[in-house]
């Protein structure tokens, strides 16, 4: 697989990473640990070098899974994890757990993540959500100290707004921003992408397949497991799914002509936006992993891209991408 560098940093990763959250958390019950270990190792064998986890996924169990599965390949992979939720309460779901990015808490979080990931350094350490109770300069300063101490290599932010990115970057250069971006959610094009380009920061889109919607495998009649996060997402109500089918129809048209899948078109479109964009689609199935990797090899022509953009620009998609309690944590 081709490699990409995240912004002006020297962090080189595979053009497509692997989001590991769904293996333990959020999309139905946790998957079998042995099966997921096999999948993670299959990704390495196929050229994926960038793996994304967080302490809150599980909580903790996803980091443990990733750490154990990738231990034999530690020197050839880049592991990103995240801090910033307060997991001291009884309800540890991100929507329920409060935020805590106090410098002392960050330093405590890094020790736990290092242990679970079976490593002595974290390649990329993101603040999971901006904590309005802690100045971002203090957060960046705490991570800077961890970098100086050799416990972290690179600093990242997730779902931060442009002003926050600038303030953080002035204290400790930000290597990457992780936020949602896809043909299902193009808002970052307005302010975020120009800011990242100006500052030389890489962009790591999560949900590059619209939480599965852009694969064409979900319609208004799809039933999700009771524990699936999409049950509470306004964009995934049956009415919204029916209305939003237009974006899948667009992908299907292009995919049929190119003899590829809608998911591959969606990923190739993202990769074509900027050379410093590295999507991290998540999956728990080997055929999906192979399909996604095929998307990284697909090169859309300028005409293809113009056709997709012109059609996408005319679409108005229905429904917010988060329930209200989580929506207020983004773009701060």
What contacts 199, CB < 8 A, 6 or more positions away?
A: 7, 165, 166, 169, 174
Angle, nearest 10°, between helix axes 262-273 and 286-297?
Answer: 50
Phi, psi (deg, nearest 5) at residue 33: -60, -40
Both structure tokens of 180: 């949602």
Determine how many CB atoms are found less than 10 A away from the CB of residue 111: 10
DSSP 8-state code for residue 27 = B
Longest dimension (CA), the chain: 55
Q: In Å, how far are 125, 137, 175 from 52, measured between CA atoms?
A: 10, 24, 15
Structure tokens at 324: 């209200």
Query: Using CA atoms, how far apart are residues 305 and 245, in angstroms rounded to an integer?
Result: 20
Q: Are 92 and 119 in contact (CB under 8 A)?
A: no
CA distance 159 to 216: 26
Query: Phi and psi (nearest 5°) for 186?
Result: -100, 5
CB 320 within 8 Å of CB 211: no
Residue 71 and residue 113 in contact, taking contact as beta carbons nearer than 8 Å:
no
Give the catalytic positions in this structure: 57
- Determine the Cα–Cα distance for residues 143 and 172; give it in Å rounded to an integer: 8
Q: Which residues contact 135 (CB under 8 A, 6 or more apart)?
A: none
């Amino acid at each position: 697989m081709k490699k990409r560098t995240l912004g002006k940093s020297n962090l080189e990763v595979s053009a497509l990473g692997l989001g590991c959250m769904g293996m333990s958390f959020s999309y139905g019950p946790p998957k079998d640990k042995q099966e997921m270990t096999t999948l993670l190792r299959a990704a390495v064998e196929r050229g994926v070098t960038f793996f994304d986890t967080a302490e809150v996924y599980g909580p903790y169990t996803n980091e443990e899974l990733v750490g154990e599965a990738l231990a034999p390949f530690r020197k050839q992979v880049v592991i990103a994890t995240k801090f910033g939720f307060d997991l001291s309460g009884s309800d540890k779901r991100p929507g329920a757990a409060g935020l805590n990015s106090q410098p002392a808490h960050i330093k405590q979080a890094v020790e736990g993540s290092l242990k679970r990931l079976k490593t002595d350094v974290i390649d990329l350490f993101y603040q999971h959500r901006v904590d309005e109770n802690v100045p971002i300069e203090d957060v960046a300063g705490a991570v800077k100290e961890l970098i100086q101490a050799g416990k972290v290599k690179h600093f990242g932010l997730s779902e931060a707004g442009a002003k926050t990115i600038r303030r953080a970057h002035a204290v400790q250069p930000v290597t990457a921003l992780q936020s949602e971006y896809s043909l299902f959610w193009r808002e970052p094009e307005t302010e975020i992408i120009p800011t990242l380009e100006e500052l030389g920061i890489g962009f790591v889109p999560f949900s590059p397949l619209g939480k599965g919607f852009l694969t064409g495998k979900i319609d208004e009649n799809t039933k999700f497991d009771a524990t699936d996060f999409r049950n509470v997402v306004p964009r995934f109500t049956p009415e919204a799914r029916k209305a939003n089918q237009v974006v899948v129809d667009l992908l299907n048209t292009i995919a049929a002509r190119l003899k590829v899948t809608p998911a591959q078109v969606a990923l190739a479109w993202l990769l074509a936006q900027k050379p410093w964009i590295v999507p991290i689609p998540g999956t728990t199935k080997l055929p999906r992993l192979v399909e996604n990797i095929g998307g990284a090899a697909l090169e859309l022509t300028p005409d293809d891209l113009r056709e997709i953009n012109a059609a996408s620009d005319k679409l108005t998609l229905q429904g917010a991408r988060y329930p209200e309690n989580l929506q207020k944590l983004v773009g701060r």
